[in-house]
Amino acid sequence: MSKLKVKKVIIFKHGVSYYILEGIIKGTDSFELEFKVDEMNDVLKSLFVLDTSEKGYISSISYDAALDTLQLLKSIMLNIPDKDSFSSLITQIKGAKVNLTIGASKQILGTIIGIEEIEKFIKEQKIIEKLLIILQDDDIITKIPFSEIKSFDILNEDIKKDLKFFFDTIIAGKKKDAKKIKINCESGGADNIERSIFVSYIRESPIWKTSYRLIMSKQQALEQKCLLSGWSLIENTTNQDWEDIALSLVAGMPVSFIYDFYRPIFIQRPVIQPPKVLSARPTEIEEGLEMERFKEYSMAEAAPKLKAMKSRARMVAAPSAPPAGAAGGFGVTGATISDDALMDKVKFQTKTQTKDIGELFEYNISNPVSIKRKQSALVPILTEAIKAKRILLYNKDEHNKNPNACLEITNNTNLTLERGPATLIYDDNLAGEAIIPFLNKEDTRLLNYAVEQAVIIMHEQKSENLSVHKVTFGSGYSYEYYYTNLMTEYKINNKTTEEKELYLDHPKTSGYKFIEKPVDPEETPNYWRFKITLKPKDAIIFKLKERKENYSSNYLWNWSKEDILKRVGFYVKHKFIDPKLEQQLKEIAELIQTSNDLKNKREKLHEERDVMTGEQERLRENIAVLGTDSQSITLKERYIKKLNDQESRFEEISKELKVLDKKIVINDKKIEEKMQELSPT
């Protein structure tokens, strides 16, 4: 059987790889591929085979069934156990024609009848001897001890095939997670001509992982650039060696899925991870803070920065050659390599061609790649000089006291950068580690790689509500508008001997706008980013003031006449309302007072009626207990007269309440109409 050799592998970021294999063949032959059971779905749905010759062709592609060993063996009648295998086989093929060799050369042809067991005693020890019962071709039944049988030839071809299938299945079942695909090739008559067979398929594979090295010297820091070296981790999880293959790495997310038609379908259950509890960590006790003098940061601070930038630009335009061993290069085993020499040496080992392919981006590794099966390798994929600037970034929600040390990089290469970890080397020493996000061309990102503990930042915040500055009316409400000022103060102390550029991320607060700020900020989705220059050994105060308009609402019905007139006087004094609105509010105040008076009067009548009701109950109880004597009769007459007087008053109160209710309804309607006449703005 000929062998296929891997020629090209294209690894994607979504968990599959595309394999291209090639094999040379003569005449009629076959190729065999082996895959894991879980890979068969992808392979079978994507497998493509082509005989590139003019006459040869692919006659068929066969593969192991998805059934397990027990299911496969159900299709035959044989089942040979590990113990007493020969006896079991003879029992299962009763009636089969066989050719036996007995002793040195005696041949017996016959048909199996069965097995007979007899007991024997040898030296007082009982043993069981098995005899094979054979019906010979001359119709004589013969008993042959197993120990005399030298060879056993089954003459029935169907039984032979079942026996071979049984053993092949058992052997294949020992390797439970492997299935074979066999590609059968026909010559088409050209048996002496070598033919090239092309095979391609996709299979599940580990994604390729990217890691970077960002290397910067002091001279490059002044020039605001660094060396970016990208490496890809490739894993060969197949059963074939990759020898001098063409390797391509594709970034992007094409649609991909597993279509399960190879194995029986089982319902997939979700995997629930147990919660992870973080262990306690030591707490850092704050040191005593010595209050230092801070000065306010203003636009004037930008002047030294501009001057420094111009001076730096002159240095970059005509840099002086650094002396041997001085900063400006990288020390290697005692020697110093210049930035240009390092760039040339690293770039020499990286030969990668790239191209955009629609929604994807491809890295084609120009140098042949060799990776043994079940091994991994780091492959260089890019070496470029990119824009880079060292800055500090402060976010109080991340580190309360110190800013992050960051590298602001711009992808000014012709490549799309995949997400991956990066190791930063500055001035021939480890500076820290960071994560490079997915970067399109010309994208700029900040990479935080350390915490700058020599720059200390404290922040304080307070708010204040100002006086009412505007009043509006609508739907019976008055709306009094006032401003809320939010003052934030950052105290920044640069304890280093270097000038630092600080990006200060100030959180956005909904509805607030700046009314005082030393410099104009840039905007991110959640922050205002201020860029500040910190002088060496300097301490500044960076003040921000933001303002938001708020309002309080008051329902005019809830105010008395005195409350309304008091507010009207306040509105007139500050010229919030005109004379017409003033008059409307005073009329509403009078109507509300009238309504309140009427309601108070109605309340008193209700109270009077309630008192009378209680009095009547008492009088009726007294009348009920009086006798028939003259004194009792006199009291009864007095009580009855009083009850009659109260009944008359009841009727008067009911009439007065009806009149009052009518007046209140009319008055309230007038108030509603007057309120609707108020301007809504």
pLDDT band at residue 289 under the 50/70/90 scheme: very low
CA distances from 234 to 33, 38, 237, 339, 379 (A): 22, 21, 10, 29, 7
Average pLDDT, the chain: 81
Give the pLDDT confidence score for residue 300 in this predicted structure: 46
- Rg of the Cα trace of the chain? 49
Report d(CA 161, CA 159) in Å as an integer. Answer: 5
| Helix (H) / strand (E) containing 58 | strand 57-63
Q: What is the pLDDT of residues 138-165, one digit of tens each?
A: 888 888 887 778 888 888 888 888 778 7
Q: What is the pLDDT of residues 492-539, one digit of tens each?
A: 999 999 999 999 999 999 999 999 999 999 999 999 999 999 999 999
Q: What is the pLDDT of residues 654-668, one digit of tens each?
A: 899 999 999 999 999
Report d(CA 97, CA 109) in Å as an integer. Answer: 7
- Give the Cβ contact number of residue 427 at 10 Å: 17
**Total count of residues recorded for the chain:** 681
Give the pLDDT confidence score for residue 301 in this predicted structure: 53
The percentage of the chain sitting over the pLDDT mark of 90, rounded to a whole number, equals 28
Mean pLDDT of the 594-602 span: 91
Give the pLDDT confidence score for residue 483 in this predicted structure: 95
Q: Is the pLDDT of residue 291 over 50?
A: no
Give the pLDDT confidence score for residue 636 in this predicted structure: 81
Query: Across-strand partners of 508?
Result: none
404-410 vs 29-36, strand pairing mode: unpaired
Report d(CA 147, CA 120) in Å as an integer. Answer: 14
Q: What is the pLDDT of residues 190-215, one digit of tens each?
A: 788 888 999 999 888 888 888 999 99
Most confident stretch, 310-319, 393-402, 607-616: 393-402
Mean pLDDT of the 366-386 span: 86
Give residue 455's identity as a one-letter amino acid code. Answer: V
Give residue limits of the domains in the chain. 94-155, 209-263+293-317+327-451, 455-557, 559-677
Give the pLDDT confidence score for residue 566 in this predicted structure: 92
Lowest mean pLDDT among 9-23, 155-169, 257-271, 638-652: 257-271
Mean pLDDT of the 353-360 span: 57
Mean pLDDT of the 374-395 span: 89
| Helix (H) / strand (E) containing 448 | strand 444-451
Whether the CB-CB separation of 508 and 457 falls below 8 Å is answered with no
Report DSSP letters for 119-179, one per residue.
Answer: EEEETTEEEEEEEEEEEETTS-EEEEEGGGEEEEEE--HHHHHHHHHHHHHHHHHHSTTEE
94-155: in CATH 1.10.645.10: no
Report d(CA 267, CA 195) in Å as an integer. Answer: 45
Report d(CA 488, CA 507) in Å as an integer. Answer: 11
CA distances from 462 to 396, 466, 515, 552 (A): 16, 13, 15, 21
